[in-house]
Amino acid sequence: MPVHNQDIANTLNELADLLEIDGAGEFRVRAYRNAAVTVEDSTEDLASMVKEGKDLSEIPGIGESIAEKITLMVKEGKLEQLEELREKVPVNTHELMQIRDLGAKRLRTLYRELGIKSLEDLKTAAEENKISQLEGFGDKTEKKILEEINRQEKSPRSGRFRWVEAHNIATSYANYLKKAKEVKKLEIAGSLRRKKETVGDIDLLAVCDNAGRVMEHFGRYEEVEKVIEKGERKSSVRLRSGIRVDLRAVDNRSFGAAMLYFTGSKEHNVPLRKMGQEKGWKVNEYGIFDNGKRLAGKTEKGIYKKLGLKYVEPELRENRGEIGAAKNNRLPRLISLSDIRGDLQMHTTASDGKNSLREMAEAAREKNYEYIAITDHSKRVSMANGLDARRLKKHMAEIDKLNGELEGIRVLKSVEVDILPDGTLDLEDEVLKELDLVVCAIHYNMNLSRKEQTRRVLKAMENPYFHIFAHPTGRLIGKRDAYDIDMEAVIEQAAQRGCILEINASPKRLDLSDIHAKTARDKGVRLAISTDAHSIRQLNYMQYGINQARRGWVRKDDVVNTLKWSKIKALLKD
């Protein structure tokens, strides 16, 4: 079986978790965690590098020992060390670490003191009030654990994949299919093409000479776990990752109609069919027909044009007003990656980043950015080595020194300051006023009531140094739901006070959602698309933020980091 970067990263993370539960040294555990992040962020396929005989230890963040283990994973499809560790420490870390506030250190205590190995064990211990008796837990923690378990049982995970995961899988499969000489054209359709933040399955469309032979080739892909359906023009499989993939062979003269139909959404396509019916036409996945005569179908643009519409970008096809806008020539000109001039959230080794201040700046300069904001955490985020006022001032001096040495990029003095439960900020105004930019965020006390959480943020936004609200709902896709907050009220406050809302480009966050991004845009609220990069490789996350912004109808002029720094500075609250 082929081994992908995500498989390797998952293995390294599980190794780190089990080693920490087993009592391994902090340095060893951290090495595995850092390597997992490096692998996840890598734009190169490590399995291919192994097959080409390249030295993985040359990749920053991967030492010789871990490089050897990755090589074994690729060559053998597994890692014996992990198998042995699972027997020694039979804790279902994947299941248990879905519970908010449970990390490997706490799991170590739960396993050693109460023998907890599974979610069922955890629930039983919480119901019997055993967890509250342990040092470092208490009644409140036990109650929160039980509430989280009950919430997950009522709303089980959907089995959907984050966009980036599905995209990587689909791209690999598409590249495999394109090697067949019979395949003349092949494209990815479905919700993946619309850039939805999560994807349930993958749709592929092909134009080919011999469809039957291509379907045979499709089913022989190494990652296929089960062939669900096999036909002359359509086949479906389930991959070992669990995702379903459908392949359809279509005629070239119908390719545009098929792409439109299978890209969706259904809610977008239904009104298009009705528009055709009003003219006496039939609109389907084969084209537009008038009494059997084909009027359009080869291209999507041809379909829209025949219906009297401007071309609608795939990201907008959700029936949220795009059809009326296309009819009246009011579709937005969506933002693109080339519009971005800088990145307004990233972290260095001063807090929990993997690269130094200089390394982050030089990597950003290679992307032709004009500026970046260094936003290491404030002191409240102690787990991330957050900065107090003294350390922040020292950090600011280092930024000033670097700016004196670097050419071609400006490094902004900033901080990601925590919003405390009472709505005050984690650092005093006397410190914040010395910064170029202040990014504010919530990392703790996410379980406040809707009223309390909303009041907390609205009060914080009254601070004159509150510039950007980072990852505004706190969600982690597929792992942690958004905290309960009235985003409509937050957006209204941002509009009134000139605050900027972030679209966090991390594929684990994509926060704001597309819906909230569009609402903010419609209210005239400025947005920032930021990577929240914790390594130089994560600077590549910007494209994911662009995807999310486009789904929210966001234009270049809606985003502050498409502007020169001087213009951003003029926008900030005095």
Place 157 in a pLDDT band, splitting at 50, 70 and 90. low
Using CA atoms, how far apart are residues 472 and 451, in angstroms rounded to an integer?
16
CA 414 from centre of chain:
23
Please write the tens of the pLDDT for every residue from 391-445: 999 999 999 999 999 999 999 999 999 999 999 999 999 999 999 999 999 999 9
Residue 111 near residue 91 (C-beta atoms within 8 A): yes
pLDDT confidence tier of residue 1, bands split at 50, 70 and 90: low
447 is written with which tokens? 């379980």
Give the whole-angstrom CA distance, residue 295 versus residue 300. Answer: 12
Q: What are phi and psi of 541, to 5 degrees?
A: -65, -15
Structure tokens at 251: 């005629």
Cis peptide before 336 (omega within 30 of 0): no
The number of domains in the chain is 4
**Residue 332, in any domain of the structure:** no
Q: With respect to residue 555, please indicate whether it lies within any of the assigned structural domains.
A: yes
Report the amino acid identity of residue 9. Answer: A
The reply to whether 225 and 319 lie within a common domain is no
Q: Give dist(CA 479, CA 334) in Å, integer.
A: 30
Q: What is the pLDDT of residue 147?
A: 84
Q: Are residues 145 and 31 in the same domain?
A: yes
- For all residues of the chain together, what is the average pLDDT? 93
Last-in-domain residue among 208, 226, 249: 249
CATH classification at residue 521: 3.20.20.140
Q: CATH number for the domain including 316?
A: 3.30.210.10
Report yes or no: 520 and 459 within 8 Å, Cβ to Cβ: no
Please, which residues bridge with residue 342 across strands? 371
Instruction: Identify which of 454, 390, 466 has the alpha carbon closest to the alpha carbon of residue 425.
Output: 466
Distance CA 245, CA 167 (A): 12
CB 532 within 8 A of CB 344: no
Domain that holds residue 235: 161-249
Q: pLDDT-based confidence at 198, cuts 50/70/90? A: very high
- Do 258 and 280 share a structural domain? yes
Tens digit of each residue's pLDDT (9 = 90 or more) over 89-99: 999 998 888 78
44 and 127, same domain (yes or no): yes
Whether 58 is in a domain gets the answer yes
pLDDT at position 99, please? 83
Kindly tell me if the per-residue pLDDT of 449 is higher than 70.
yes
* CA angle centred on 307, ends 301 and 311, rounded to 5°: 30
**In a domain? residue 303:** yes
Is a pLDDT exceeding 80 seen at residue 159? no
Distance of alpha carbon 19 from alpha carbon 223, whole angstroms: 29
Which pLDDT score, from 0 to 100, does residue 5 have? 85
Residue 384 is predicted with a pLDDT of 79
The Cα 383–Cα 372 span in angstroms is 24
- Give the pLDDT of residue 41: 78
Q: Where are the alpha helices (DSSP H) in 240-382?
A: 255-263, 266-278, 300-306, 322-327, 357-366
- 275-333 per-position pLDDT tens digit: 999 999 999 999 999 999 999 999 999 999 999 999 999 999 999 999 999 999 999 99
Residue 161 has pLDDT above 60, yes or no: yes
Least confident of 42-46, 74-78, 207-211: 42-46
Which residues does 11 contact at the CB level (< 8 Å), separation at least 6? 73, 79, 82
Q: Give the tens place of pLDDT for each residue, 308-318.
A: 999 999 999 99
Q: State which of 154, 173, 201 marks the end of a domain.
A: 154
